[in-house]
Structures are given as C-alpha cells and as structure tokens.
Structure 1
Amino acid sequence: MADKDAAKGVRPSVYGFGIGVSDLERSNAFYTELLGMKRVMDFSLSHMDEIVLLYPDGGSSLVLMHWTDGSTRDYANNPVKIVVRLEDPKAVADKIRAAGYLIIREPEPAPEVGGFIVGFAKDPDGYLVELLDANQS
C-alpha cells in the first residue's frame, strides 16, 4: 500500500477521526458555530448516521457518529482529546462559555509547553477540546 501511495504522491497522514455523539445536530452546532468547522458531508448507514466536518483551509476531518441500530452507547466523558488550532482561542473560549459549555482552562500561556497559549473546553458530550493559538508554531 505504501509503495502504491508513494507512486501517486500521497503522503501518509491522519485523514480524519470520528467520535460518538449523543445528538448529531447539537454536536454539529458546537463544532461549526463555535469552532468554525464546516459541514462537508453526511452519511446515513444501516447502523449509524455521520456528519463529516472540516476546517475551510483543510486538515484532518472530524466525523460525528451517532448509532441508530438500537445499541447502547456511552457517549459521555470519553477519554479523547480533540486539538484545534484557532486564530483567537480566547475569543472562541468566550463563545463556548456564552453557549453554556464548560471551559476547563482559560487560553493562556502555559510554561510547561514553552509558553504556547493553551486552553481547554468540553464539548456537548464531554469530550476535551484543546484550544491552541494558530499563530504559534
């Protein structure tokens, strides 16, 4: 597979990742309205519905997944961290707070990581969202 991809000029990367959510539209609103992602695709499979989100300038996609097969799922507070780079993490944290979601750590310089601005919030299902300053590398 790697040789075939290399011949096409495809570099290995994380193309996307998925998280289980209890309410697709609520989670879609969180990631699009508060974090600036765009809804690019929807899938309705026999066992789940999915919404694919992507930042306008690209990067890895985030797939919101909701099982519709009647199986029991634990969507709350899973040990997952979603890391996003933002133009203004402080303004985004204010929007998240105003929308009624929890800010775990205000975006501010963190000495442990070289002074980079880092903040943390929780999404509607309790996933940890790390808010990084896109202007730092």
Structure 2
Amino acid sequence: MVAILGQYCINVSDLERSVAFWEGVVGIPVVSRTEIETAREAVIQSPHGGSRMQLAQQLGQAGPIDMGTAIWKLYVNTDDCAALFERAVAAGCEAVTPPARLDRWPVTVAFVKDPDGYLLELIEYHQGTPATVPDPKKLEA
C-alpha cells in the first residue's frame, strides 16, 4: 500500500482576496476552481510540484476565520526569503518575525500572517531541500 499527502484545505473569509495573495504575492497559481452549494473553492499548486492547497470560502459563514488551535503554521519554500517577506508585508500581511538565518539548520526563515491570519513560515534552504522537496533555487520562475 502507498499513501501520499496530496492536498490540504483551509477556510478563507474572502476567496478572491486569498487568490490574489497566493497568486500575486506568493506566486502560486490557481489550478482549478469549484463552486458547490455551500462553498466557493480554488486549488493552488506550484508548477514545480509540492502539495496542493485548497482555499474554501464557506458561503454560510460571515466574519473572520476562527483559527482555533489545530493549525500552527503553513510552510512556503522560496528561493529568496527576504524578498518574499517584503512582498508579503507590502501587500498588507502582518510581519511576525523578519528573515533570520538559523544557527541550527542551514536555512533562513521569516514569519508573516496572511490576510486571514494564517501563520506562514517562509523558508529558504541554503544547502538544498530535504529529499522529495522541490528546490526553488534550482527551478526557473
């Protein structure tokens, strides 16, 4: 038996705002859209691989997303942590932690909160990514 994690779904309060952030700021495009009776959805995925993420606006829900305690953070691999951090902050994201190179691992990380308040860890690997993880520094944009 083989099992592979393929897609994650998060609730968003404004689908078009979230799509604009993920496509326009982060650079991960929408690969499909779906409308069902209870929700509007968009699936995003890098053309270079990695997991898909579904953004879902629940039509019966108003107001901000209740973050609860289930999701801690979402990882975004990048070839330039500082530049993506600056783009996200310029687009209105809350800056949580500016880019810093870590002593324990060969990475630079930064943290921002996306338009719905999800904590994003922006991570730039300096000595290649873990096995099976696409390396943004070896791919063309």
| TM-score category of the 2 structures, normalised to the smaller one | 0.7 to 0.9
Change (3 A) 1:123 1:18: same
Paired with 2:61 and 2:111, the residues of 1 have a C-alpha distance of 31
Unmatched runs of 5 consecutive residues or more in structure 2: 130-141
Unmatched runs of 5 consecutive residues or more in structure 1: 3-10
TM-score norm. by structure 1 comes to 0.83
Paired with 2:85 and 2:13, the residues of 1 have a C-alpha distance of 22
Higher helix share: 1
- Structure 1 letter corresponding to 2:65: Y
Paired with 1:63 and 1:78, the residues of 2 have a C-alpha distance of 19
Q: 1:48 touches 1:66 (CA, 8 Å); kept in 2?
A: yes
Paired with 1:39 and 1:25, the residues of 2 have a C-alpha distance of 11
In structure 1, the residue matched to 2:77 is 85
User: How big is the shift at 1:74?
Assistant: 5.3
User: How big is the shift at 1:103?
Assistant: 1.5
Change (3 A) 1:72 1:102: closer
User: How big is the shift at 1:73?
Assistant: 7.1
SS state at 1:125 partner: coil
Change (3 A) 1:95 1:71: closer
Partner deviation per Cα, 1:62-100 (whole Å, 9 max, x = no partner) = 1000112x2567515454211010011110111111112
The alignment covers a number of residue pairs equal to: 126
TM-score norm. by structure 2 comes to 0.81
State the identity as a percent: 32
SS state at 2:20 partner: helix
In structure 2, the residue matched to 1:75 is 65
Q: Which structure has the larger Rg? A: 1
Paired with 2:116 and 2:58, the residues of 1 have a C-alpha distance of 14
Q: How does 1:1-137 map to 2 (within 5 A)?
A: 2=1, 11-68=2-59, 70-71=60-61, 75-79=65-69, 80=71, 81-111=73-103, 113-136=104-127, 137=129
Q: 2:92 touches 2:115 (CA, 8 Å); kept in 1?
A: no
Q: 2:106 touches 2:125 (CA, 8 Å); kept in 1?
A: no
